[in-house]
């Protein structure tokens, strides 16, 4: 009898424990444990994925860098080009930015993966990637110039990651000076959907200082945009997490041309950054070029919280002088010389003449 | 002749070979059950489902605990509370929006207390903010709208009066405490058909009905009963008015729920509704059902239904003489384009195919008759 009562008592106790509602604190603690378990599982999965992709034995070690790939994937010629590209990238970084620049690439651990595409999967595409998931497709056969550009780009990403103030000064132009990149940035500024970007392109250094500051929740929108930009701001703004027919109806009205709807939405939306990180990356590159071989060391030592102040310190000049010389440099890249139009003119003329000649000989048609 | 047959046979063989090459190779659903990567992939899925389950349990428990800690006001009033870290501009904007919505809902003296509580949740992931509605448990308690945001976003978050801040609390502000059957119905269905009182202007003024055939997608699973009701199935119309919380739970939210805890989560704190993200316009058909019913019946008659002692179905029949199923069917029909369930032939494509076939046949016959003459 007593055994039976004890058993029943135990069963009731278990049932009561099982059905007892958990308190908020208990649930909060359980949530933290569940999210921690999820984080560990996701990290372990990423590790296993890497092992799956690269295996354990394949790899190329060059200086302090490591590139992993499946040995069966790359030919000896491509492997050699990859190695030369890595060296070339580091050599250029050392040449432009001194040892501090080269050291940014030393710890880079890169991976080369392959994938097959097409209906019969005849195309093998190679990509090179870094641990922070920057991925670039490689042409075949592997071009060492392309690999070198990737290494420099990666070093730019690392530099901006190491200096929290300059986290938004990355992108493909960081640490990669060149007239082609400058011309592209000049064109993007001139055609920007933010009035400040266009004013900067026209030579207003104050507007360049505005766009050099990444837009955030507290940024004064009037500095960046004019009312005529509002439609573009709404079109590109981050949309709210909760879809809402009322919001989308207002958005549709704005995009159809209702300026009042646009003006209202602009004030409540979280606008997208009108100036991409790569344009700011170009300012970073220019500051480092002005700063010489000690530029990176000065930048890493700077404790400024304002990005432009840190860049001016690295460049060894004032903020206005930095922006002014940057503007002059990027617009010098798009100015055409008197003979730049000769080749397009001759090409157009040649094709027109050829087609005319064929058209007049009707029997060929 | 032989040559023609040879060409035909050759073409046939080539076509068959091409088809054989194009047939995709059968690949197993899970590549290798013993592969540690796929094992971990499954473990990640389980951990994700577990995290979602506990996260939603925590949200609901926290919302209910916040509501229980609230003092019961002596008379119906509007209560607004903000976390100290929220700036003055955002406070003022939200307060004005909430009060405007309450005034619009009550259209006269407030029938029941309503509260807006805005806080910050720095631990929240996968969302900028979440909004819950907590229905009162006892008499005199306020119906509470709880917003938790991830910090700086609240300053610029697109929260407007038209965002239906009040949610189900709009009915409390306008009609007071519901009668026991309606209260039970709200709990059983998680108030899904009563998510807001005023139909938002854009939805009500939208002259074009929702094209169900075009809106078909993964999200259509959420509105499967709307499709069934539009196709003339009475049972589906009943489910539009009284959705099953277990079925909805598995389709809403940011991932699957841990197996074995679906029932627990679906019925946990039924008076708390968390506004799911990704609710599209066509979901509003279902969410606006009670709002539309209130609009059609008018404040006095709907107030009697709301506070009555009969179920929603019985009260509606008593008020109008029609069944709620009939009304739901008409309501869904007024908001959507015709929809035919089951297999069918697309009319335009069929006509186009017929036209091409007739044109080819005519051309071939004309050519053959010319050759004969």
Distance, in Å, from the CA atom of B170 to the CA atom of B176, rounded to the nearest integer, reads 9
Whether residue A320 sits in one domain with residue A204: yes
**CB proximity under 8 Å: B 93-152 to A:** 125, 127-129, 131, 152
**Nearest chain B Cα to A118, which residue?**
B22
Query: With an 8 Å Cβ cutoff, is B57 touching chain A?
Result: yes
Query: With an 8 Å Cβ cutoff, is A269 touching chain B?
Result: yes
Whether residue A325 sits in one domain with residue A188: yes
**CB proximity under 8 Å: A 226-255 to B:** 240-250
Question: For residue A104, is it within any domain?
Answer: yes
**CB proximity under 8 Å: B 201-220 to A:** 201-203, 206
Query: With an 8 Å Cβ cutoff, is A16 touching chain B?
Result: no
The closest of A78, A76, A80, A56 to A68, measured between CA atoms, is: A56
Percent of chain A whose predicted confidence (pLDDT) is above 70: 77
Listing DSSP states for A214-232 in one string gives: PP-TTS-HHHH--GGGHHH
**Contact between B94 and B159 (Cβ < 8 Å):** yes
Q: What mean pLDDT, rounded, does chain B reach?
A: 83
The structure tokens listed for B152 are: 């700086």
Mean pLDDT over B345-371 rounds to 89
Query: With an 8 Å Cβ cutoff, is A45 touching chain B?
Result: yes
The structure tokens listed for A82 are: 């990859």
Judged by CB atoms closer than 8 Å, whether chains meet at B48 and A38 is answered as yes
Whether residue A202 sits in one domain with residue A327: yes
Distance from CA of A216 to the nearest CA of B (A): 10
Listing DSSP states for A99-120 in one string gives: HHHHHHHHT-EEEEEEEEESTT
A68-89 pLDDT, tens per residue? Answer: 665 556 778 887 888 888 888 8
Q: Of the given ranges (A148-152, A325-329, A349-353), which has the lowest mean pLDDT?
A: A148-152
Whether residue A146 sits in one domain with residue A187: no
- Residue ranges of E strands in chain B: 78-82, 114-120, 129-134, 143-149, 272-274
Whether residue A285 sits in one domain with residue A212: yes
Judged by CB atoms closer than 8 Å, whether chains meet at A241 and B275 is answered as no
* pLDDT at residue A263 is higher than 80: yes
Q: What mean pLDDT, rounded, does chain A reach?
A: 79
Whether residue A208 sits in one domain with residue A116: no
Question: For residue A110, is it within any domain?
Answer: yes
A169-220 pLDDT, tens per residue? Answer: 876 566 777 788 888 889 889 999 899 999 999 999 999 999 888 887 677 8
Query: With an 8 Å Cβ cutoff, is B307 touching chain A?
Result: no
Find all residues with CB under 8 Å of A195, minimum gap 6, and list them.
Answer: A224, A225, A226, A228, A229
Question: For residue A244, is it within any domain?
Answer: no
Question: For residue A296, is it within any domain?
Answer: yes
The closest of A195, A103, A188, A217 to A151, measured between CA atoms, is: A103
Confidence of residue B204 (pLDDT cuts 50, 70, 90): low
**Angle in degrees, CA B146, B101, B169, rounded to 5:** 45
Note the pLDDT of residue A117: 66
A92-147 pLDDT, tens per residue? Answer: 888 888 888 888 876 656 777 777 666 665 666 777 776 665 677 788 788 888 88
Note the pLDDT of residue A206: 92
Note the pLDDT of residue B35: 76
* pLDDT at residue B146 is higher than 60: yes
**CB proximity under 8 Å: B 238-297 to A:** 275, 277-281, 284
**CB proximity under 8 Å: B 163-182 to A:** 163
Distance, in Å, from the CA atom of A46 to the CA atom of A278, rounded to the nearest integer, reads 28
**Contact between B20 and B228 (Cβ < 8 Å):** no
A11-36 pLDDT, tens per residue? Answer: 444 344 444 567 889 999 999 999 99
- Most confidently predicted of A337-351, B34-48, B194-208, B227-241: B227-241
Whether residue A184 sits in one domain with residue A158: no
Whether residue A289 sits in one domain with residue A155: no
Give residue B367's Cα distance to chain centre: 59
Number of compact structural domains in chain A? 2
Note the pLDDT of residue B111: 92
Whether residue A154 sits in one domain with residue A106: yes
Note the pLDDT of residue A11: 41
Q: How far is CA B247 from CA A309, B100, B243, B353, in A?
A: 57, 35, 8, 41
Q: Residue A290 sits in which domain range? A: 179-225+271-332
The structure tokens listed for B151 are: 């910090």
B221-246 pLDDT, tens per residue? Answer: 667 888 899 999 999 999 999 988 88
B255-297 pLDDT, tens per residue? Answer: 788 888 888 888 898 888 876 554 455 577 888 889 989 989 9
Whether residue A157 sits in one domain with residue A195: no
Question: For residue A312, is it within any domain?
Answer: yes
Question: For residue A240, is it within any domain?
Answer: no
Last residue of a domain, one of A111, A133, A162: A162
Mean pLDDT over B135-149 rounds to 89
Distance from CA of B354 to the nearest CA of A (A): 31
């Amino acid at each position: 009898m007593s055994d039976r009562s004890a058993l029943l008592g135990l069963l009731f106790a278990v049932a009561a424990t099982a059905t007892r509602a958990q308190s908020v604190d208990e649930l909060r603690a359980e949530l933290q444990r569940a999210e921690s378990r999820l984080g560990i599982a996701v990290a372990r999965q990423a590790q296993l994925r890497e092992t799956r992709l690269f295996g354990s034995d394949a790899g190329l070690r060059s200086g302090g860098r490591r590139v992993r790939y499946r040995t069966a994937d790359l030919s000896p010629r491509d492997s050699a080009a990859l190695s030369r590209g890595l060296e070339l990238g580091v050599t250029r970084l050392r040449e432009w930015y001194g040892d501090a620049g080269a050291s940014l690439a030393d710890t880079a651990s890169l991976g080369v993966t392959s994938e097959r595409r097409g209906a019969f999967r005849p195309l093998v595409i190679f990509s090179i990637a870094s641990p922070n998931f920057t991925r670039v497709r490689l042409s075949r056969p592997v071009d060492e110039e392309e690999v070198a550009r990737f290494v420099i780009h990666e070093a730019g990403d690392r530099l901006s990651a190491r200096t929290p103030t300059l986290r938004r000064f990355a992108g493909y132009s960081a640490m990669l000076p060149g007239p082609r990149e400058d011309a592209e940035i000049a064109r993007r500024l001139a055609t920007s959907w933010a009035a400040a970007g266009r004013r900067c392109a026209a030579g207003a250094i104050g507007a360049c200082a505005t766009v050099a500051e990444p837009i955030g929740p507290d940024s004064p929108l009037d500095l960046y945009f004019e009312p005529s930009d509002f439609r573009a701001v709404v079109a590109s703004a981050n949309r709210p997490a909760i879809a809402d027919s009322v919001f989308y109806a207002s958005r549709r009205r704005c995009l159809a041309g209702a300026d009042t709807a646009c003006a209202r939405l602009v004030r409540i939306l979280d606008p997208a950054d009108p100036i991409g990180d790569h344009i700011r990356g170009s300012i970073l590159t220019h500051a480092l070029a002005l700063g010489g071989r000690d530029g990176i060391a000065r930048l890493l030592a700077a404790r400024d919280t304002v990005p432009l102040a840190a860049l001016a310190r690295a460049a060894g000049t004032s903020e206005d002088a930095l922006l002014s010389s940057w503007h002059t440099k990027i617009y010098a890249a798009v100015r055409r010389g008197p003979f730049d139009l000769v080749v397009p003119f001759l090409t157009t003329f040649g094709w027109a003449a050829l087609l005319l000649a064929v058209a007049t000989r009707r029997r060929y048609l | 002749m032989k040559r023609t047959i040879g060409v035909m046979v050759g073409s046939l063989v080539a076509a068959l070979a091409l088809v054989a090459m194009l047939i995709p190779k059968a690949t197993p659903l899970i590549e290798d059950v013993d592969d540690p990567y796929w094992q971990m992939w499954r473990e990640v899925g389980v951990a994700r489902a577990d995290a979602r389950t506990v996260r939603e349990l925590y949200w609901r428990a926290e919302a209910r605990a916040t509501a229980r800690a609230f003092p019961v006001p002596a008379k119906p009033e509007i209560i607004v509370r903000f976390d100290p870290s929220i700036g003055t501009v955002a406070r003022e904007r939200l307060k004005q929006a909430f009060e405007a919505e309450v005034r619009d809902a009550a259209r006269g003296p407030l029938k029941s207390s309503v509260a807006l509580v805005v806080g910050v949740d720095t631990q929240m992931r996968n969302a900028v903010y979440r909004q819950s509605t907590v229905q009162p448990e006892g008499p005199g308690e306020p119906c509470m709208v709880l917003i938790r945001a991830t910090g700086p976003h609240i300053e610029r978050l697109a929260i407007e009066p038209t965002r239906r801040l009040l949610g189900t609390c709009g009915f409390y502000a306008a009609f007071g405490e519901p009668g026991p059957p309606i209260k039970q119905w709200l709990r059983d269905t998680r108030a899904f058909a009563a998510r807001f009182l005023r139909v938002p202007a854009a939805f009500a003024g939208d002259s074009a009905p929702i094209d169900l055939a075009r809106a078909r997608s993964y999200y259509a699973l959420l509105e499967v009963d709307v499709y069934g009701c539009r196709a003339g199935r009475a049972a589906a119309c009943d489910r539009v008015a009284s959705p099953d919380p277990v079925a909805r739970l598995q389709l809403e939210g940011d991932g699957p729920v841990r197996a074995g805890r679906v029932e627990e989560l679906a019925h946990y704190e039924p008076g708390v509704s968390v506004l799911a993200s990704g609710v599209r316009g066509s979901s509003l058909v279902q969410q606006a059902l009670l709002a539309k019913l209130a609009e059609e019946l008018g404040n006095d008659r709907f107030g009697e239904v709301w506070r009555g002692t009969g179920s929603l179905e019985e009260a509606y029949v008593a008020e109008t003489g029609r069944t709620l199923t009939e009304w739901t069917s008409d309501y869904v029909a007024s908001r959507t384009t015709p929809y035919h369930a089951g297999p069918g032939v697309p009319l335009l494509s069929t006509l186009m195919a017929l036209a091409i076939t007739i044109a080819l046949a005519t051309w071939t016959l004309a050519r053959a008759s010319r050759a004969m003459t």
